[in-house]
Amino acid sequence: MKTYQANYDQIARDHIAYWRETGRNPFQEEGALARNENATVELAKLYLKPGDRVLDAGCGMGDLMLRLREYDPYGIDLSEDYVQIGIERGLNVQRGRIEKLPWEKEFFDVVLATDVLEHVLDLNKAVRELLRVLKPGGIIIARTPNEEELAVDTPPYDFVHLRRFDHPTFHLLFGKIFGCEVLEVVVGGDVIHAVARK
């Protein structure tokens, strides 16, 4: 876990340094990033209701949270550097691991996990925790790269994307393994969104 943490901290530092200098993300093409974020926000707003408590799991600097401020967004991220930026932006964020969330059972109406499930070490443990803090009937929305070609060697980082997702994978993960109702799985560009009801 220490190696994984150090790796993620380095990714966050590199991301933030580039972002402070250029205003952009060094790991994603700007047009694709904007399309992906817009698609996630539009999809989330189909399921969100006024007053809903929303968790952005793996919130990074809080970009999605800023766009969902009319709800009640909370964020958590593994990187202290990302969390500090979220706090500077006035967001309700804290440092922590998705595999061990600090909130009580059934605390959230909606959980978002965007660009995070492909990174976690223990996928089943992470999803189990995300569902633990989700209310019965609540919605989980996940976004990952779609059918991504994984690289074993990704210098300068030891851990980047640890698994690939596609349409059947999400149906099996949320529907078969965790017993949720898969409401939709949407492929757009190079990403895939899955929406499931607990």
As assigned by CATH, the class of the 2-197 domain is: alpha beta
What does the pLDDT look like over 79-117, one tens digit per residue? 999 999 999 999 999 999 999 999 999 999 999 999 999
What does the pLDDT look like over 129-176, one tens digit per residue? 999 999 999 999 999 989 888 888 777 888 889 899 999 999 999 999
Q: Is residue 97 classed as helix, strand or coil in its secondary structure?
A: strand
pLDDT of residue 170: 97
Q: Is residue 13 classed as helix, strand or coil in its secondary structure?
A: helix
In this prediction the pTM is 0.94
Alpha helices in the chain (DSSP H): 2-22, 30-47, 63-67, 80-88, 123-132, 167-170
Q: What is the dihedral of CA 90, 133, 82, 113, to 10 degrees?
A: -110
CB 52 within 8 Å of CB 110 = yes
What does the pLDDT look like over 57-81, one tens digit per residue? 999 999 999 999 999 999 999 999 9
Residue ranges covered by each domain of the chain: 2-197
